[in-house]
Amino acid sequence: MEAATINRNFKKRVPPKELLLKIGIYLLLIVGLLSTILPLFWMISTSFKSQEAIFEIPPRLIPKHISFENYINLFKQEIDFAKAFQNTLIVTVSYTIGALLVPAMAAYAFSKLRFPGRDLLFMIFLATMMIPSQVTLIPNYLSINFLGWLNTYRALIIPPLANVFNIFFLRQYMLGIPNELCEVARIDGASEGLIFFKIIIPLLKPALATLGILNFTGMWRDFLWPAIIATDSSMYTLQVALYTLFGQNQASTTFGVVMAGAVLVLLPLFLIFLAGQKFIVKGISTTGIKG
């Protein structure tokens, strides 16, 4: 209604008060947006500055000379950033595949199969969502230590797979798939495995895309668990490597190299965001609605 009124006014002749309001709102949004983007821009800009240019006063928003020395130095550090990138990629990709498949299987059992105790078990699963990860941090570290898994990929990948939110999300989605679809296949003699892989999984694609992006970016950003599990520098993930680099360079004149590292860490996240915008928006609006 408000929309119609304003548009009509706008088309006829714009009352000065409305125009002023409109300009004011746009100005507010643009100033807000600029200050939102500024830190990210500042990071990129600093990463391309030479050592001397970083400490210039007044600071320059766009470097006078584009310098790649920070990026070159980044790969000459004690910490092997290329290895950290590789570690992160291996861990994140394996985790994401597991974090889709394992919960999808559980969600299938919870939504399409009947067995005694199903609802009780699901309630127990849901209840575990209340437990903050800090509570299980110490015992999980002890278990990993006990198994001799410190500094291994499996220790970085497997414990985070205990992801009840994914089960919940996929179960909700599967409840929307008509049961008749499975029944017909069952009558035709299809096994549950076949139904799951050939019927359910293809129908889940949009949900899996959303969840895949959320889990990939979430794992890429994870810090605390890798920080205590990957203590050997050859097993560092990007986040741990960047934290260590930051610790070594924060007071010195080499802060540009930290910014280059930060760009390297964030770049894949932004690329995924640009590619998967649609799914991210969808994921957020579906998770938000339940509130």
Partner 1 sequence: MRKKYLTPFLFLSPSLIIIFCFVIFPVFFSLYISLTDFNVRSLVNWGNAKFIGLKNYRYLLQDELFLKCIVNTLYFVVLMVPLVLVLSLTLALLLNLPLIKLRNFFRMGYFMPYISDGIAISTVWYWLVSKDYGILNHILSWFGIKGPGWLTDVRFAMLAIVGLVVWRSLGYYAMLYLAGLQNIPQQMYEAAEIDGANRWQKIRYVTIPLLAPTTLFISITSMIGGFQLFTEPLTLTNGGGPMDATKTIVLFIYENGFRYFKMGYAAASSYILFAFIFIVTLLQIKFGDQQY
Q: In whole angstroms, give the CA distance from residue 155 to residue 152.
A: 6
Q: In whole angstroms, give the CA distance from residue 50 to residue 63.
A: 8
Q: Is 123 in the site for partner 1 (CB under 8 A)?
A: no
How many residues does the structure list for the chain? 291
Q: How many residues bind partner 1 (CB under 8 A)?
A: 91
> Which residues from 259-278 bind partner 1, rule CB under 8 A?
259, 261-262, 265-266, 269-270, 273, 277
* Residue whose pair of structure tokens reads 């990129």 in the numeric block: 44
Residue closer to partner 1 by CB (options 25, 66) is: 25
| Binding test (CB under 8 A) with partner 1, winner from 113, 126, 175, 275 | 113
Q: In whole angstroms, give the CA distance from residue 169 to residue 204.
A: 11
Q: In whole angstroms, give the CA distance from residue 200 to residue 178.
A: 10
| Binding test (CB under 8 A) with partner 1, winner from 29, 82, 175, 194 | 29
> Which residues from 36-65 bind partner 1, rule CB under 8 A?
36-40, 42-43, 46, 54-55, 57-59
> Which residues from 215-244 bind partner 1, rule CB under 8 A?
217, 221, 223-224, 228, 239, 242-243
Residue closer to partner 1 by CB (options 32, 206) is: 32
Name the nearest CA neighbour of 237 among 140, 137, 95.
95
CA 193, 194, 197, 200 torsion-angle sign:
negative
Q: Is 189 in the site for partner 1 (CB under 8 A)?
A: no
Cβ 223 to partner 1, closest distance in Å?
Answer: 5
Counting Cβ atoms within 10 Å, is residue 52 exposed (0-12), middle (13-18) or buried (19+)? exposed
- Cα distances (Å, whole numbers) of residue 58 to 53, 54, 55, 61, 288: 10, 10, 9, 9, 43
| Binding test (CB under 8 A) with partner 1, winner from 13, 16, 65, 134 | 134
Q: In whole angstroms, give the CA distance from residue 59 to residue 37.
A: 17
Which residue stretch of 65-73, 84-92, 202-210, 281-289 sits at the interface with partner 1 (rule: CB under 8 A)? 281-289
| Binding test (CB under 8 A) with partner 1, winner from 94, 246, 248, 254 | 246
| Binding test (CB under 8 A) with partner 1, winner from 15, 20, 27, 28 | 28
Cβ atoms of residues 246 and 262 within 8 Å: no
Q: Is 115 in the site for partner 1 (CB under 8 A)?
A: yes
